[in-house]
Amino acid sequence: MPRNAGFILATRPSREQPAGPHNFRLVESETGELAEGEVLVRNHFLSLDPYMRGRMNDAPSYAAPQALGEVMTGGTVGEVVATRNARHGLGEFVSLTGGWQLHSKSNGRDLRKIDVKALRAGMQIQAYLGALGMPGVTAWHGLNKIIAPKSGETVVVSAATGAVGSIAGQLAKIAGVRVVGIAGGAEKCAYARDELGFDECVDHRSPDFAGDMKAALPKGIDGLFENVGAAPFAQSMRRLNPFARIAICGLVASGYDGTPTALPDVRVLLEKRASMTGFIVSDHLDEWPQALRELGEQARAGRLKWRESIAEGLEAAPAAFFSMLKGGNFGKQLVKLI
């Protein structure tokens, strides 16, 4: 059996020493023999996602903190290289929560088979960590189940070129609404408009961000898909229409360093009769088959595009993770492991 390597969470962030690559340690180990029913997967790609920063803290949340001394959690895609499970054969490609490591053992129940026909037709395996995986399902749920856009409305999507925001915006365009993105920098805004089909994109780094938002939203906001928090959230809240729907997906700009995102004035929710719903996509596993089916159909029809930032090699994971949290990625942040 092959040897393994992976990053464990060695220490937790603190006020004296904020989070950084120093919190992780690379360790080697034996994969060991498989028990009856187990599968060994050689991971090809690792997904780096903002939620992981919250798991580093020992604090109450929607999920248990990452245990010290254990391999850091994370989604992966890879190939079955050894199996004692009748449902999973050698050479099968799967997605799983394999963690920050080269090899992952599984009892098979958490493995999701990847469509071999799609791979043969040119779909890249890492798409099942992005548009055709958890980020895509997140976009699908927030848009369809919370915002539920209607023809003629305006939907705003922050982190518009990220793994979730880029899909949410494209799904909103498919639904027939006007879509305004918020992104960091002229290059990302141009990509949102020219490649993803957003009607407008506002650069949150602009010295007149508030004025730019006002100009881009002459008819206000009916749906807000919020990934960021901080100034993008505050400026969007100022432009809500009556009965606006807000899907809180993430707060990457303000929450992972301990800085809260505050409501500018909760009165706006009352005056606008707006609804605000925070959601975690793992609470809606019953919707995943439908969401993945519809996302796959849109992708095969050429109606979904996405972009990836790929770090090379397992050793690059910690630095790539913290770069992503600061907006250093363009599209889905991945680590290529093979």
Output 15 or 202, whichever has higher pLDDT: 202
Residues 6+ apart with CB under 8 A from 92: 79, 80, 113
- As given in the structure block, the two tokens for residue 241 are 């229409």
Q: Do 267 and 162 share a structural domain?
A: yes
Task: Identify the pLDDT of residue 269.
Answer: 96
The Cα–Cα gap between 72 and 52 comes to: 8
Q: How confident is the model at residue 261 (pLDDT cuts 50, 70, 90)?
A: confident
Q: From residue 239, give the alpha-carbon distance in Å to each of 205, 214, 235, 244, 263.
A: 19, 8, 7, 10, 13
Residue 114 has pLDDT above 70, yes or no: yes
Task: Identify the pLDDT of residue 260.
Answer: 82
Q: Do 244 and 148 share a structural domain?
A: yes
Residue 255 has pLDDT above 90, yes or no: no
Task: Identify the pLDDT of residue 87.
Answer: 95
- As given in the structure block, the two tokens for residue 287 are 């919707």
The Cα–Cα gap between 303 and 319 comes to: 33
Q: How confident is the model at residue 259 (pLDDT cuts 50, 70, 90)?
A: confident
pLDDT per residue as tens digits for the range 152-197? 999 999 999 999 999 999 999 999 999 999 999 999 999 999 999 9
**CA dihedral of residues 216, 222, 228, 229 (deg, nearest 10):** 100
| Consecutive H or E run containing 107 | none
Task: Identify the pLDDT of residue 252.
Answer: 86
Eight-class DSSP state of 313: S
- As given in the structure block, the two tokens for residue 173 are 């365009």
The residue written with tokens 């089916």 in the block is 293
pLDDT per residue as tens digits for the range 19-44? 999 999 999 999 999 999 999 999 99
Task: Identify the pLDDT of residue 280.
Answer: 95
- Taking all residues of the chain, what is their mean pLDDT, rounded to a whole number? 95
Task: Identify the pLDDT of residue 258.
Answer: 63
Q: Do 171 and 55 share a structural domain?
A: no
Asked, for residue 289, whether it belongs to a domain, the answer is: no
The Cα–Cα gap between 317 and 311 comes to: 7
pLDDT per residue as tens digits for the range 126-150? 999 999 999 999 999 999 999 999 9
Q: Give the number of domains in the chain.
A: 2
Asked, for residue 297, whether it belongs to a domain, the answer is: no
pLDDT per residue as tens digits for the range 45-94? 999 999 999 999 998 888 889 999 999 999 999 999 999 999 999 999 99
pLDDT per residue as tens digits for the range 201-235? 999 999 999 999 999 999 999 999 999 999 999 99
| CATH code of the domain in which 112 resides | 3.90.180.10
Asked, for residue 65, whether it belongs to a domain, the answer is: yes
Instruction: Please give the residue range of the domain that contains residue 167.
Output: 134-282
Task: Identify the pLDDT of residue 294.
Answer: 97
Helix axes 163-174, 288-300, angle to 10 degrees: 80
pLDDT per residue as tens digits for the range 276-333? 999 999 999 999 999 999 999 999 999 999 999 999 999 999 999 999 998 899 999 9
Q: Do 125 and 20 share a structural domain?
A: yes
Task: Identify the pLDDT of residue 1.
Answer: 85
Mean per-residue pLDDT, 83-112: 96
Residue 256 has pLDDT above 70, yes or no: no
The Cα–Cα gap between 193 and 201 comes to: 6
Asked, for residue 44, whether it belongs to a domain, the answer is: yes
Residue 257 has pLDDT above 90, yes or no: no
Contact 48, 75 (CB under 8 A): no
Contact 139, 208 (CB under 8 A): no
Q: Do 115 and 16 share a structural domain?
A: yes
